[in-house]
A and B are shown apart, each in its own frame.
Chain A
């Protein structure tokens, strides 16, 4: 193992133990690593956005010799307008850029949410109860229809949940609890898998190198 590899191994082991030290008690070493993590993450996104957006989508298409997209100076100016938020007196200028982003996003959302999500999801819910796949598929189709309708009714607050609406909302919350339980189980397993990865690193890579 080279000197550099040993240095990297010990550095990773140090930061792993420093972060885990918070499990025992809040301490300065943890805060130190936490601050470095916050700074590095911010720095990472600056580098990423600089290359993938500012250079690749703005500067290069605008300045290339062959068919330059000179009109990209408009979003460039809009982007610079966002910086006026740093001076309260002129911060209203940033609203123009913000309004463009909000309006454009709203325009895209208006269609994609209805056309790309609501209609396809409704179409997939309307399954034939009697089909060639047998009784199990029919039973599953019934579960899906009841689940979708009762979940939607649970989140419908314009009318008091009483009578039929109340019973359906109650069924909805049972469905929702099962779904949240499943999600929780998945999330826990994902986090435990990451934890196992770090513990494996400490035991096999770091302690194993002694």
Chain B
């Protein structure tokens, strides 16, 4: 019961969605099922996010309750979750501060706190990428040297001063980088990776539909 029912559900839902592409949505029920079932998946996905929210609340609440090391930070996280989420869940008809429209608490916190924090966090990564690059790019092998050269060329190509420098070496060098590196080698590798990953995803999908792959169910 605990394993068979989920396997049967996965088989049926997978089969219906795999087959539905061969049926016309305007004339057949099975063709109409595809967009409907995809909405169902989105709805369940929405609930899973709320499960995550409950989980983050529970973990941080426990840390605060048991006065674990750094419980003050957990308290701040808890307050932030509720201050951001609660006003957005309340209807804007009650107050213009509720909901998610411009001028609401949710919008204000996103515009003036969350967005600049995100930009600063990602901006700070520039320093760590530089230090990682130093370790990775030390030209100790032919492969590392190729990586170093390409990255340097692309970085120079992306800024006006670097592009001018590249043009001083050869007037067509920036165009060559665009044509042969970005639209040639880079595209070919991306295509190879996409084909390989897509074949892997398709075979894994088949394993899930046929009930061979069951690790998503966990133990018990």
Contact = CB atoms under 8 A, between A and B. Distances in A.
A53 B10 contact: no
A110 to B, nearest CB: 4
Interface string B38-80: 1111111111111111111010000000000010011011111
A207 interface: no
Contacts of A155: 192-193, 196
Nearest to B39: A57
A181 B154 contact: yes
A49 B41 contact: no
B147 interface: yes
B44 A188 contact: no
B127 A107 contact: no
Contacts of A31: 70, 73
Given A19-B120, A118-B199, A178-B185, A44 B114 contact: yes
Contact of A151 (B43, B56, B184, B192): B192
Contacts of A209: none
A107 B44 contact: no
Interface residues of B, number: 123
B150 A113 contact: no
B63 to A, nearest CB: 11
A114 B204 CA distance: 12
A107 to B, nearest CB: 3
A110 B44 contact: no
Contacts of B148: 181
B81 A195 contact: no
Contacts of A79: 43-44, 46-48
A39 to B, nearest CB: 3
A136 B180 CA distance: 10
B121 A19 contact: yes
A44 B110 contact: yes
A70 interface: no
A46 B143 contact: no
A78 B40 CA distance: 9
Interface string B90-134: 000000000010000010011011101111111111110110010
B184 A147 contact: yes
B13 interface: yes
B166 interface: no
Contact of A43 (B84, B119, B206, B220): B84
B188 A144 contact: yes
Contact of B53 (A42, A108, A152, A179): A42
A11 to B, nearest CB: 7
A181 B124 contact: no
A15 B114 CA distance: 10
A97 B217 CA distance: 10
B29 interface: no
A189 B159 contact: yes
A185 B153 contact: yes
B161 interface: no
Interface of A: 8, 11-12, 15-16, 19-20, 22-23, 31-54, 57-58, 72, 74-76, 78-80, 82-83, 85-86, 88, 91-92, 95-111, 113-115, 117-118, 121-122, 124-125, 136, 140, 143-152, 155, 172-189, 191-192, 194-198, 201
7 contacts: A11-B112, A40-B114, A53-B45, A144-B187, A188-B126, A194-B126, A198-B119
- The 10 closest A-B CB pairs, nearest first, are A147-B188, A39-B80, A43-B84, A151-B192, A79-B47, A181-B150, A107-B17, A185-B154, A47-B88, A53-B46
